[in-house]
A = this chain, B = another copy of it.
Amino acid sequence: MLIATPQSMHFAEPLALTSGASIRAYDLSFETYGTLNAERSNAVLVCHALNASHHVAGVYEGQAKSEGWWHSMIGPGKPLDTERFFVIGINNLGSCFGSTGPMHTNPDRADGQVYGADFPVVTVEDWVNAQALLLDRLGIQTLAAVMGGSLGGMQALGWTLQYPDRLRHAVVVASAPNLTAENIAFNEVARRAIVTDPDFHGGNFYQHSVVPKRGLRIARMIGHITYLSDDVMNEKFGRQLRSAVAGANEGSYLYSTQEVEFQIESYLRYQGDKFADYFDANTYLLITRALDYFDPAREHGGNLTKALAAAKAKFLLLSFATDWRFAPARSREIVKALLDNQREVSYAEIDAPHGHDAFLLDDARYHGVVRAYFNNVAQEVGV
């Protein structure tokens, strides 16, 4: 059993942000697994998506059910093998799992209030910069790989452009070179649900001792719909009635607009409630905005090939056939732009039924591809 130990690092130097603002001082929460070799060549940074954290793998001492969010992928003997690699997970700035974020004290205020809505907008580029500073402190100049799924994949891609000489490989899973209008639209509805919740108080709900749970629930329900494929929803829930599952009144409609009638409703409400209990509303706004803003081609007139010319890493890209949030076509755009630049790219489109969520699940072919890729990386870096 891999035991994880959360750590924290303080940074007293201000971090300049893409927006022009800066964060005066900050802490980054992180975890590491495995051992850094003498050559310091076997470090792999794993970047997280919307609602995950630095707790990537293993469990906390005495908490058997506290598995890291990518524990099926990362650990001893797993596709990303912590017996060969030194794996690092870092909680991003603005998140709500330990690193400096909206619920922490704003050093620019004399009254000791938390940032709340005043936490500056952070971008994928800013996160990558902060991650690089943490790696400096850990004495790691060059990463064997940066790996991430979804928004985490955008960070891996960002690494290849911002620090092309500091990583050998980028593993970009279920990601995209930017969001489509539909992706932005779903983010925007979720944000409006949060911002218009009367308990949001313009982002300063902490001082009112309330949480905009209504908005967070709606945001999470929308999210869950986009994480799953239509097929897997039909297979898991279909039109199954809750009454049929409960065994009472089997198969009869309740004829109610507000009661839970279908199992899918029960599932979504449960996911919404759970999320609203732990996730920070300002963090939700910040992270969905980081997703919206990511667009490396933007400074190159929309030309992704030009944008990726800076990358030097070797790439593995993975997509999932039923992912309609970040569809395979979006990964193929990245693959094409890299090939235009004569970069070394491996690409696999996995025929998993689970939609976007597939990147977190244990699919044999998916894990096989990642395992084989990291075997090669291991040979390359001599572990």
Mark A residues whose CB is within 8 Å of B.
18-21, 117, 120-121, 178-182, 184-186, 188-189, 191-193, 195-198, 214, 217-218, 221-222, 224-225, 228, 230, 233-234, 236-239, 253, 255-258, 261-262, 264-265, 268-269, 272, 282, 285-286, 288-289, 292-293, 295, 298, 324
A19 with B255, Cβ < 8 A, contacts A181-B233, A184-B264 known: yes
Q: Is there contact, CB below 8 Å, between B268 and A189?
A: yes
Q: Is there contact, CB below 8 Å, between B234 and A221?
A: no
A295 with B195, Cβ < 8 A, contacts A181-B233, A185-B264, A264-B188 known: no
Least Cβ distance of A356 to chain B in Å?
Answer: 13
Q: Please give me the 5 A-B residue pairs with the lowest Cβ-Cβ distance, nearest first.
A: A19-B255, A257-B285, A181-B233, A121-B255, A181-B237
Q: Is there contact, CB below 8 Å, between B253 and A293?
A: yes
In the assembled complex, 27 residue pairs joining A and B whose CB atoms fall closer than 8 Å, in A order, are A21-B255, A120-B255, A121-B257, A179-B239, A180-B238, A181-B238, A184-B262, A185-B221, A185-B225, A185-B264, A185-B265, A188-B262, A188-B265, A188-B268, A188-B269, A189-B221, A189-B222, A191-B258, A192-B217, A192-B218, A196-B218, A218-B218, A222-B222, A255-B293, A256-B289, A257-B282, A257-B285
Least Cβ distance of A293 to chain B in Å?
Answer: 6
Given contact pairs A185-B265, A261-B292, a sample of 15 additional A-B residue pairs in the complex whose CB atoms are under 8 Å apart:
A121-B255, A180-B239, A181-B262, A182-B225, A182-B233, A182-B234, A184-B239, A184-B262, A188-B269, A189-B222, A192-B218, A196-B214, A257-B289, A262-B292, A324-B324
Q: Is there contact, CB below 8 Å, between A181 and B234?
A: yes
Main DSSP-derived SS at the A contact region: helix
Most chain B CB neighbours (cut-off 10 Å) among A191, A218, A236, A289:
A218
Least Cβ distance of A193 to chain B in Å?
Answer: 5
Complex: A269 Cα to B352 Cα, angstroms:
35
Most chain B CB neighbours (cut-off 10 Å) among A255, A288, A289:
A255
Least Cβ distance of A191 to chain B in Å?
Answer: 7
Q: Is there contact, CB below 8 Å, between A180 and B234?
A: yes
Contacts of A225 in B (CB 8 A): 182, 185-186, 189
Q: Is there contact, CB below 8 Å, between A285 and B258?
A: yes
- Choose one: B120, B181, B198; the contact of A239 (CB below 8 Å): B181
Least Cβ distance of A85 to chain B in Å?
Answer: 36
A191 with B257, Cβ < 8 A, contacts A182-B233, A184-B239, A186-B225 known: yes
